[in-house]
Amino acid sequence: MHLGHDLDEKFPHRHTYSAPATERPDGTRRALRIGLGGPVGSGKTATVAALCRTLRTEVSIAVVTNDIYTREDADFLLREAILPPERIKAVETGACPHTAIRDDISANLEAVEDLEESIGSLDLILVESGGDNLTATFSKGLVDNQIFIIDVAGGDDIPRKGGPGVTTADLLVVNKTDLAPYVGSDVDAMAHDARTQRGDLPVAFTSLKDEGGVKPVADWVRERLADWSAGPA
């Protein structure tokens, strides 16, 4: 990322300890790291699972989960046999996922590096946050891009209310659009509010229940991967 290179130019001999470093110790380009955050129940784990299913034949993927209370998210991914166990690592967060993804990223960085080291040639690492509040965002020291996932059932006023996740995430996903008629949410109003809050930043509407429902997110990830591998190594 550009931030990393700015730093590298200013401090050419200084070892960097977090995401801005874009190279592995052996000089090859490290995996792209994408964070997925959002409120409880919005479909983060389901999105991670769907992304893994869609992309696993194209790229080498691993997942880091940040569970709140259990290893359930990691166990879900294991149970669904979406990825082999050695590609999933669970980070414990002491009841505060936002601390582990933003304020003290040391455990997540360790998990990411352990995966790179043990798997070898990873292209993509998805870092999933446990469900948290609307202000929870990923540190730039941990991920290169972040996706914020909300759903129509959580209230159609969430985009209007804004907050760092909604306004600054590289991609905002509004999930469960199939439920909108049942919960009385106005998807068009959500799209309008999101545009107002986010300017040119993209918004994707998904219904993971549908065949290929994750496609808009997967396409966006493919673009990020293309940019990443085209970037200066």
Partner 1 sequence: MNRAALLVLADGRFPAGGHAHSGGAEPAVAVGRIRDAESLEDFCRGRLHTAGLVAAALAAAAAAGHDPLALDTAADTRTPVAALRDTARKLGRQMMRAARATWPSAELDALAAARPRGAHQPVVLGVAARSAGLEPLDAAYAALYETVSGPATATVRLLSLDPFDATAVLARLVPELDRVAATATATARRVAEEGVDVLPAASAPLLDISAQQHATRPARLFAS
Q: Is 128 left (phi over 0), alpha (psi -120 to 50) or beta?
A: beta
Establish if 13 lies at the interface with partner 1 (CB under 8 A).
Answer: no
State which of residues 7, 21, 92, 191 lies at the interface with partner 1 (CB under 8 A): 92
Q: Distance (Å, rounded) from C-alpha 193 to C-alpha 81?
A: 37
Sheet containing 145-151: order of strands: 88-92, 61-67, 124-128, 32-37, 145-151, 171-175, 203-205
Q: Which stretch binds partner 1 (CB under 8 A): 32-40, 47-55, 69-77, 182-190?
A: 69-77
Q: What distances in angstroms separate CA 49 from CA 10, 72, 76, 132, 170, one per listed residue?
A: 40, 13, 9, 19, 20
Which lies closer to partner 1 via its Cβ, residue 15 or residue 79?
A: 15
| 47 vs 93, beta carbon nearer partner 1 | 93
Could you say which residues in the range 97-156 bind partner 1, by CB under 8 A?
Answer: 99-100, 103-107, 109-110
Dihedral sign computed on CA atoms, order 150, 109, 4, 216: negative
Stretch that binds partner 1, among 13-21, 26-34, 185-193, 196-204 (CB under 8 A): 13-21
* CA separation for the pair 165, 60 (Å, rounded): 27
Q: Report in angstroms how near the CB of residue 32 gets to partner 1 at its nearest.
A: 21
The phi and psi torsions of 72 (rounded to 5 degrees) equal -60, -40
| H-helix or E-strand spanning residue 185 | none
Interaction of residue 71 with partner 1, rule CB under 8 A: yes
Residue 229 marked as a ligand binder: no
- With contacts defined by CB under 8 A, how many residues of the chain interact with partner 1? 23
Q: In angstroms, what is the minimal distance from the CB of 99 to partner 1?
A: 5
In the beta sheet, which residues pair with residue 148? 37, 172
Nearer CB in complex with partner 1: 104/170: 104
In the bound state with partner 1, the residue whose beta carbon lies nearer, of 94 and 181, is 94
What does the binding site for partner 1 look like in residue numbers (CB under 8 A)? 14-15, 17-18, 68-71, 91-96, 99-100, 103-107, 109-110
